[in-house]
């Protein structure tokens, strides 16, 4: 609570505004990311639509759309860690410390920047998914947005934790790629939960189902009437909250440790 009282909203706004302006400067990177996400949706749907079991997935395009929506939030929020990593290697943080902004405001501001990026980038994918499938009730839509915010905050914090845990570029890249691989492929974005349960060993199935991306996708699919979830909406939001607390602690600790060296 003491930390929260020390946060100046204007300082947080300055940090977020700066990071958002930098985000829009990477136009070609954004164009590539949008293209990749749309390609994932259309190519996977076209290739696998007639190959999957109809009893598990009647329409693979509809099945994939919520997964791509969650991936969009995850990928864009994760990008904040790459920029923080560059600042760490170039010791740019010394300049940040000279600004009239506290360390806590810098740490929280960077995490919020990643969260806002994730939500902004995800919005068109969310709209497309809703148009393609169905318009949810207002309360359900609010639950989807809340889940998106929790996922984006978790990914932003986790990405910052990875990028500030070491100054070694090779190690940063390895950790980021490994985390990306685990979160992306060991999830239910591409496969239905029953198939994961029959094909994956029990420990890997547990990881896949409790993955924050899987939890968010499960909530989307449950609300949009695509497939039932093993967890209730309340349970999913609570689990996403647990993921967020863990990621916040890690991201805040490593970022502040780096600033105080």
DSSP string, 210-241: HSHHHHHHHHHHHHTTSS--SS-HHHHHHHHH
State the DSSP code for 26: -
Q: What is the pTM of this model?
A: 0.86
pLDDT band at 96 (very low <50, low <70, confident <90, very high): confident
Least confident stretch, 51-60, 95-104, 118-127: 51-60
User: What confidence score (pLDDT) does residue 213 get?
Assistant: 92
pLDDT band at 240 (very low <50, low <70, confident <90, very high): very high
pLDDT band at 90 (very low <50, low <70, confident <90, very high): confident
Length of the chain counted residue by residue: 261
User: What confidence score (pLDDT) does residue 1 get?
Assistant: 56
User: What confidence score (pLDDT) does residue 237 get?
Assistant: 96
Cα–Cα nearest to 71, from 210, 201, 184, 204:
184
Q: Check whether 49 has a pLDDT greater than 70.
A: no
Q: Which residue has the higher pLDDT, 7 or 198?
A: 198
Q: Which residue has the higher pLDDT, 44 or 138?
A: 138
Tokens of 75: 């990928």
Q: What are the percentages of helix, strand and coil residues in the chain, rounded to 5?
A: 80, 0, 20
**Residue 45 · residue 61 · CB < 8 Å:** yes
Q: Check whether 2 has a pLDDT greater than 60.
A: no
Question: How high does pLDDT run on average in the chain?
Answer: 83
């Amino acid at each position: 609570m003491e930390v929260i009282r020390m946060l100046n909203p204007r300082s947080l706004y300055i940090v977020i505004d700066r990071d958002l302006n930098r985000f829009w400067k990477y136009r070609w990177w954004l164009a590539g990311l949008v293209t990749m996400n749309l390609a994932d949706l259309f190519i996977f749907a076209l290739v696998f639509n007639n190959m999957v079991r109809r009893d598990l997935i009647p329409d693979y395009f509809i099945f994939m759309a919520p997964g791509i929506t969650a991936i969009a939030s995850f990928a864009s929020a994760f990008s904040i860690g790459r920029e923080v990593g560059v600042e760490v290697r170039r010791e740019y943080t010394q300049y940040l410390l000279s600004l009239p902004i506290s360390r806590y405001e810098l740490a929280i501001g960077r995490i919020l920047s990643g969260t806002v990026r994730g939500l902004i980038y995800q919005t068109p994918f969310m709209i497309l998914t809703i148009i393609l499938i169905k318009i949810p009730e207002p309360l359900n839509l609010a639950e989807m947005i809340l889940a998106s915010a929790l996922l984006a905050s978790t990914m932003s914090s986790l990405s910052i934790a990875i990028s500030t845990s070491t100054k070694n570029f090779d190690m940063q890249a390895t950790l980021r790629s490994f985390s990306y691989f685990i979160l992306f492929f060991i999830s239910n974005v591409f496969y239905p939960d029953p198939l994961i349960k029959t094909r994956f060993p029990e420990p890997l199935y547990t990881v896949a189902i409790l993955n924050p991306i899987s939890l968010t996708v499960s909530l989307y699919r449950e609300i949009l009437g695509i497939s039932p979830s093993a967890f209730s909406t309340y349970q999913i939001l609570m689990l996403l909250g647990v993921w967020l607390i863990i990621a916040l602690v890690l991201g805040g600790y490593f970022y502040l440790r780096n600033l105080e060296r």
